[in-house]
Amino acid sequence: MEKYNFDTVIDRRGTSSMKYEGLDAVFGRHDVSPLWIADLDFAVCPDIVKTLRQRLDHPILGYFACPDSYWNAVMSWLERRHGLKTEREQLAFIPGVVKGIGYAVNFFSRPGDRIVIQPPVYHPFRMVIEGNGRQVVENPLVFDGDNYTMDLDGLEEAIIREKPTMMILCNPHNPIGIQWSAETLARVAAICRSHGVTIVSDEIHGDLVLYGKPHIPFVDVSDDARAVGITLGAPSKTFNIPGLVSSWVLVKDPELRRDFFHWLEVNEFSAPMMISALGAEVAYTHGEQWLDEMVGYVEDNIDFAVNFVDRHIPGVRIIRPQASFLLWVDFRGLGLSQNELMDLLLDKAHIALNDGTMFGAQGLGFARLNVGTPRSVLATALEQIREAVVNMPARVSTPDAINR
Residues 218 and 80 in one domain: yes
Pick the last residue of a domain from 286, 302, 334. Answer: 286
- pLDDT at position 398 is 45
Residues 214 and 103 in one domain: yes
Question: Under a CB-based contact definition with an 8 Å cutoff, are residues 170 and 184 in contact?
Answer: no
DSSP 286-337: H-HHHHHHHHHHHHHHHHHHHHHHHHH-TT-EEE--SBSSEEEEE-GGG---
- pLDDT at position 403 is 43
| 277 in any annotated domain | yes
- pLDDT at position 359 is 98
| 2 in any annotated domain | no
Q: What is the rounded CA–CA span in Å between residue 319 and residue 306?
A: 9
Q: What is the rounded CA–CA span in Å between residue 380 and residue 389?
A: 14
Tens-digit pLDDT profile for residues 313-336:
999 999 999 999 999 999 999 999
| 308 in any annotated domain | yes
Pick the last residue of a domain from 223, 251, 286. Answer: 286
pTM (two decimals): 0.95
Q: What is the rounded CA–CA span in Å between residue 113 and residue 359?
A: 21
Q: What is the rounded CA–CA span in Å between residue 262 and residue 158?
A: 32
| 267 in any annotated domain | yes
Q: What is the rounded CA–CA span in Å between residue 48 and residue 266?
A: 30
Q: What is the rounded CA–CA span in Å between residue 249 and residue 261?
A: 9
Cα separation values, 206 from 134, 225, 236, 237, 366, Å: 27, 17, 11, 9, 23
Q: Which domain holds residue 312?
A: 18-45+289-403
Q: What is the rounded CA–CA span in Å between residue 103 and residue 260?
A: 9
The CATH number that applies at residue 222 is 3.40.640.10
- Rounded to 10°, the helix 288-312/375-390 angle is 20
Residues 280 and 395 in one domain: no
| 6 in any annotated domain | no
Q: What is the rounded CA–CA span in Å between residue 309 and residue 367?
A: 14
Residues 281 and 296 in one domain: no
| 11 in any annotated domain | no
Residues 85 and 218 in one domain: yes
| 5 in any annotated domain | no
- pLDDT at position 1 is 67
Closest to 309 in 3D by CA, of 201, 253, 242, 389? 389
3-state secondary structure of 366: strand
216 secondary structure, DSSP code: -
Q: What is the rounded CA–CA span in Å between residue 235 and residue 188?
A: 26
Residues 215 and 194 in one domain: yes
| Strand partners of residue 138 | 117
| 251 in any annotated domain | yes
What value does the CA radius of gyration of the chain take, rounded to a whole number of Å? 21
Instruction: Give φ, ψ of 128 to 5 degrees.
Output: -65, -45
CB-count exposure of residue 22 (10 Å: 0-12, 13-18, 19+): middle
| Strand partners of residue 168 | 200
Residues 359 and 387 in one domain: yes
Residues 84 and 223 in one domain: yes
Give how many domains the chain has, as a whole number. Answer: 2
Residues 182 and 320 in one domain: no
Closest to 218 in 3D by CA, of 190, 254, 246, 238? 190
Residues 118 and 165 in one domain: yes
- pLDDT at position 396 is 47
3-state secondary structure of 132: coil
Low-confidence ranges of the chain (pLDDT < 50): 396-404
Beta-carbon neighbour count of residue 107 at 10 Å? 15
- pLDDT at position 397 is 47
Residues 139 and 240 in one domain: yes
Pick the last residue of a domain from 269, 286, 303. Answer: 286
362 secondary structure, DSSP code: G
- pLDDT at position 2 is 75
Distance of alpha carbon 35 from its chain centroid, rounded?
15
Q: What is the rounded CA–CA span in Å between residue 303 and residue 326?
A: 13
Question: Under a CB-based contact definition with an 8 Å cutoff, are residues 218 and 252 in contact?
Answer: no
* Dihedral angle of Cα 360, 364, 365, 370, to the nearest 10 degrees: 10
The CATH number that applies at residue 392 is 3.90.1150.10
Residues 191 and 308 in one domain: no
3-state secondary structure of 207: helix
